[in-house]
Structure 1
Amino acid sequence: MAETKKDYLTLSTYNAILHRQLQRDMNQLLIKDKLPVNITEMYLMVLILESQPISQRRASTTLAVDEGLMTRMVKHLTALGLIHKQAAERDKRVKELTLTADGKELLDYGLSQFNEWWESFEADLGDIDINHLGRELYDISKVVLSDRHQTPLRNDRVDAE
């Protein structure tokens, strides 16, 4: 039996479309609610929450944003009191990021909006197992990050729902 050709283009295209739709809608919700962050900054805050402390450089690599943008995001989130940046104990050149209590509070609210976005069309998803799909995409992300960037994801947390 011939092996079915893997359709990487379709996976990549629809993953990008879904991401861009989510990003656009979430940014609009964040503006409407007068939250002082954008979705990329929220992604950074989630990464910090799940990996803290995390070095600024590792966060930049993991989120695939250039170091200039990462520096601007860190300055903005630090000025708002949402994250804390300090030199690592072992190497003072390494800057580690942690989430503040105010950051956790804002993130909780932002993530509730994120969940509402998904739940708004959940009934239309039929038999798609979001948790299974999420675990598979996480596994792909781990491989891409470790193979391409030598950056293992430290978050092995997967909801068992």
Structure 2
Amino acid sequence: MDKSGNGYLTLSTYNAILHRQLQRDMNQLLVQDELPVNITEMYLMVLILESQPISQRRAATTLAVDEGLMTRMVKHLTSLKLINKTSADRDKRVKELTLTAEGKRLLDHALKQFNNWWESFAGDLEHIDINHLGNELFDISKVVLSDRHQTPLANGKERGTRRLEGGA
């Protein structure tokens, strides 16, 4: 694609295409299953599950959404009793997010749909080591977040979002 030899443009372009296709298809599947969340809220719930508690501000930075959208998503998910929002013990101004039992149940169901979406392509992706690719993208994300936003991604894990790889 990129004749200039700039692999960054190629990586960015195909990453955007893949993300938009996944986002569109997952939002349709979530609607079909009558789940009251969208893919961005699902990503937030995964982040909360893997990092709980996580501050609302850190979640916004990690997911690269503005604080207004984050506030609306948190308000929506708390009204559905899928997440809890509480003040941090050490600083009452910091709002921490945790997943409720109902949130975990909904997320488990949504992640099954997510994994089914990927599995539908498994036969065509046999030559690609998805775990290796995921780890490489995790490393890139970690550098971008820490260099640009001083936000560590690891959350005590060595690499990647294992929950998304292994399913619910």
Q: Which amino acid aligns with 2:40?
A: T
5+ residue gaps, structure 2 = none
Does residue 143 in structure 1 map to residue 150 in structure 2?
Answer: no
The answer for the alignment partner of 2:154 in structure 1 is 154
Counterpart in the other structure of 1:99: 99
* Alpha-carbon contact 1:142-1:152 (below 8 Å) kept: yes
Once the two structures are superposed, what CA deviation does each residue of 1:85-137 show, in whole Å capped at 9, x if it has no partner?
A: 00000000000000000000000000000000000011011310000000000
Q: Identity percentage over the alignment?
A: 80
Deviation at 1:6, TM superposition (A): 4.4
1:83 offset after TM fit, Å? 0.2
- Contact 2:77–2:83 at 8 Å: present in 1 too? yes
Asked if the contact 2:48–2:99 (Cα under 8 Å) also holds between the matched residues in 1, the reply is yes
Aligned counterparts of 2:154 and 2:25: Cα–Cα separation in 1: 29
Structure 2 match to 1:19: 19
Distance 1:42 1:126 in 2: 27
Counterpart check, 1:76 vs 2:70: no
Q: Stretches of 4+ moved more than 6 A in 1?
A: none
Give the distance between the partners of 1:157 and 1:47, measured in 2 at CA.
Answer: 15
2: CA distance, partners of 1:123 / 1:70: 37
TM-score when normalising by structure 2: 0.90
TM-superposed CA distance for 1:157, in Å, is 5.1
User: Partners in 2 of 1:49 and 1:65 — Cα distance?
Assistant: 18
Specify the SS of the correspondent of 1:96: strand
* Distance in 2, Cα, partners of 1:132 & 1:6: 22
The CA RMSD measured in Å over matched residues stands at 1.6
Q: Is the 8 A contact 1:82 1:104 kept in 2?
A: yes
Measure how far apart 1:154 and its partner are: 3.3
CA offset digits 1:8-56 (Å, max 9, x no partner)? 0000000000000000000000000000000000000000000000000
Is the CA contact (8 Å cut-off) linking 1:51 and 1:154 kept in structure 2? no
Which structure 1 residue ranges, 5 or more long, are not aligned? Answer: none
Equivalent residues of 1:41, 1:73 under 8 A apart? yes
Partner SS, residue 85 of structure 2: strand
